[in-house]
Structure 1
Amino acid sequence: MENIKTVSDFNFKNKIALVRVDFNVPVNNQSFQIIDDTRILYSLPTIQKIISDSGKVVLISHFGRPKGKCSKIYSLRFIISYLSKKLKIPIKFSEYCIGEAVEKKISELKNGEVLLLENIRFYKEEEEGNEYFAFQLSKLGDIYVNDAFGVSHRPHASITIVPKFFREKKCIGFLMKKEIQSLKKVLGKGIAPITILLGGAKISSKIAIIENLINLVDYLLIGGAMSYPFIKAQGGQVGDSLVDEYKNLKVLQKIIEQYQKQKKTKVFFPKDVIIADSFKNSAKTKIVSIHSIPNGWMGLDIGPASIKHFCKIINSSRTILWNGPLGVFEFKNFSSGTTSIAKSIVIATENGAFSLVGGGDSIAALKMKKYETKISCLSTGGGAMLESLKNKMLPGIKAIIS
């Protein structure tokens, strides 16, 4: 953080701030009502700082995956009224992101006004990281601000190329600052015991994370569907449980051997699981050892012994990071593991632990129980958070300090 400038290092009076935000929020497909406004809310302090300085704000964001084509269903227009209500000022809108039309609108902006640009991914050049497209975007502002942690792991034009054209006049926003500081509290500077809980299904995206965390944290708890390939690698029977496409069991065996040799990190998998004879809430169920799931059955949640074990570790921890559910929590009959873990993290937080939760499913599970305000920090970027856990500097952050 020492080398990264933030919006606090600039006075934006009479300046145009080109602010990359992440307004890619879940919405109701019919009414376009925002279901979860966390990402927008967390970016408001940055926008308000610029406005209070008597600066002008030009907002860049993406929404969905329009794949370089204009589409009404991916338009950012639905955010205008919401943003206007939150900031208590009218929000101007441009249907273009580059060119004379948007440049004219920006030239007419007054201090304290905000202009929202249309979905940046309507231009294929954004995801291609096109240099000339980035140059055209850079002409729209005097100071560049990245407050889009959720996409800062993407090598996109507005994230990694645009900052090059601003030399020293670039910085991060308050959301980005909070995300970076929160991750630092977990990795290396956290108060021990440090516990990281990884769930979900995709093990392939978390192999490098697991390798990096060994010998760095006190407890690594692995649950959800990503535990089954490890159990299989150890010779266990996982039946018809979901096993990610990651087929290289030798790599998993190597990781298991690695954590068995070192002394710092204790790695635990579920002891028991709730299995079902089909993938539905009304399926027939029973509780078995995770190593002995019969054919024709699949693990859909961690069992009571596993819940008790994991929660005991969480309750004794002073620093906690959670990414990924422990089961198919969308089905009520298989939500117990995930909701129990969520509650345990809330209790630990209330007792003074620092907690960081990231990933759409994990945050959705918190919100189901209205726990989201009882966690120290909610991360706005699942993928970006996972990349950071690999001990990698995100491209979006590197572009600010280089």
Structure 2
Amino acid sequence: MSKLSIRDLELKDARAFIRVDFNVPLKNGVIGDDTRIRSSLPTIRYALEHGATVILASHLGRPKGKPNPEYSLRPVATRLSEILGTKVVFADACIGSPAARAVREAQEGERVVLLENLRFHAGEEKNDPDFAKALAALADLYVNDAFGAAHRAHASVEAITRFVSRAAAGLLMEQELRYLGQALESPERPFVAILGGAKVSDKLGAIQNLLGKVDRLLIGGAMAYTFFKSRRLPVGRSLVEDDKLDAARDIEAAAAARGMRIELPVDHVVAERVEAGSATEVLLVGDPRIGERLGL
């Protein structure tokens, strides 16, 4: 997989917009796991060592297109500063004057700035070109180091690349692509893929691509309920994409035609509602006692 790398960019004195994945577990301003922050350090340090001003951008949670203090990236800036051992300027917004001021401050100082949550703007998830252009105005170069978000057609991932002179993969992205390429092109057998997540629609392309490559596919998470319902199993009020039931059946039929097995969970935890303190029960999948409860 030959991709333009950050190593191919002229970074000296450049403003490098680096899309990272800092979607960390955060509660009451406390980060539960900083693995994703640490995973981006090689790219950040490489850019700094080669003379760039680093402009970091990420989403956090699902704030639904408007500012929500619960999903602010400010605690992430603090943690990143501790790990890097250098000041990280935090921008109170990801576009406009606050962002531009923060970038100028970083250029005059330690050359690292973290923008506020991209999803505080509805334009991020809508892949809005005006929002993407405003992000691109902050930088000279674009680097994508957010493998976990790379499949999304969001403004900071896709549209922004139309407004920068050069776009490249970061070191983490490069590493993940290398692993993925090895797995897909010359895997050891048996080759088993595990997929999860909330929506089948987000994974359709990946599933269809994997069908001809893997020996077995394990599907978990909330997306399994769409497959359960497509098999006419009781799912109560569990999350189901009703418009993807036929797609789920087509996937299972295509797998069977290839002699490949799709494995789904055999049991699940059910509850009346998704909230702390709700009574739960473990049931076998297909047990009608789920009633109007939902799978967690």
1:52 corresponds in structure 2 to: 49
Contact 1:145–1:170 at 8 Å: present in 2 too?
yes
Matched residues, number: 286
Trace 1:3-402 onto structure 2 (pairs within 5 A). Answer: 4-28=3-27, 30=28, 32-108=29-105, 109-110=107-108, 112-167=110-165, 169-198=166-195, 202-203=199-200, 205-222=202-219, 238=233, 244-246=240-242, 252-262=248-258, 265-269=259-263, 273-274=266-267, 283=281, 293-296=286-289
Query: 1:124 and 1:277 mapped to 2: Cα distance?
Result: 33
The alpha-carbon deviation at position 213 of structure 1 amounts to 2.6
Contact 1:54–1:111 at 8 Å: present in 2 too?
no
Query: 2:207 and 2:64 mapped to 1: Cα distance?
Result: 32
2:275 corresponds in structure 1 to: none
Q: Structure 1 pair 88/244, CA: closer, same or farther in 2 (3 Å)?
A: same
Identity %: 37
Contact 2:118–2:124 at 8 Å: present in 1 too?
yes
Q: Structure 1 pair 159/88, CA: closer, same or farther in 2 (3 Å)?
A: same
Q: Structure 1 pair 35/190, CA: closer, same or farther in 2 (3 Å)?
A: same
Q: Structure 1 pair 179/250, CA: closer, same or farther in 2 (3 Å)?
A: same
TM-score by length of structure 2 reads: 0.78
The alpha-carbon deviation at position 219 of structure 1 amounts to 2.3
Q: Structure 1 pair 96/254, CA: closer, same or farther in 2 (3 Å)?
A: closer
SS in structure 1 at match of 2:45: helix
Q: Structure 1 pair 188/13, CA: closer, same or farther in 2 (3 Å)?
A: same
Q: Which letter does structure 1 place at the counterpart of 2:168?
A: C
Query: 1:182 and 1:42 mapped to 2: Cα distance?
Result: 15
Q: Which runs of 5+ in 1 are unaligned?
A: 299-326, 329-402
Q: Which runs of 5+ in 2 are unaligned?
A: 273-277
The alpha-carbon deviation at position 126 of structure 1 amounts to 3.0
Q: Structure 1 pair 190/55, CA: closer, same or farther in 2 (3 Å)?
A: same
Contact 2:228–2:234 at 8 Å: present in 1 too?
no
Contact 1:51–1:112 at 8 Å: present in 2 too?
no
Deviations 1:230-288 (A, max 9, x none): 57766xx84567583437765555444433333xx531546x94588977887487x7x
The alpha-carbon deviation at position 75 of structure 1 amounts to 2.2
Deviations 1:368-390 (A, max 9, x none): xxxxxxxxxxxxxxxxxxxxxxx
Query: 1:228 and 1:102 mapped to 2: Cα distance?
Result: 42
The alpha-carbon deviation at position 177 of structure 1 amounts to 1.3
Q: Structure 1 pair 49/207, CA: closer, same or farther in 2 (3 Å)?
A: closer
SS in structure 1 at match of 2:31: coil
Query: 1:214 and 1:36 mapped to 2: Cα distance?
Result: 33
The alpha-carbon deviation at position 27 of structure 1 amounts to 0.7
SS in structure 1 at match of 2:192: strand
SS in structure 2 at match of 1:13: coil
Query: 1:101 and 1:141 mapped to 2: Cα distance?
Result: 14
The alpha-carbon deviation at position 65 of structure 1 amounts to 3.0
Between stretches 180-189 and 219-228, larger displacement belongs to: 219-228
> Is the radius of gyration larger for structure 1 or structure 2?
1
Q: Which letter does structure 2 place at the counterpart of 1:267?
A: R
Contact 1:227–1:269 at 8 Å: present in 2 too?
no
Deviations 1:183-209 (A, max 9, x none): 222323322321123456755554554
Deviations 1:46-86 (A, max 9, x none): 10001111321122222233334333323221122211111
The alpha-carbon deviation at position 99 of structure 1 amounts to 3.4
The alpha-carbon deviation at position 25 of structure 1 amounts to 1.3
Query: 1:225 and 1:98 mapped to 2: Cα distance?
Result: 34
TM-score by length of structure 1 reads: 0.59
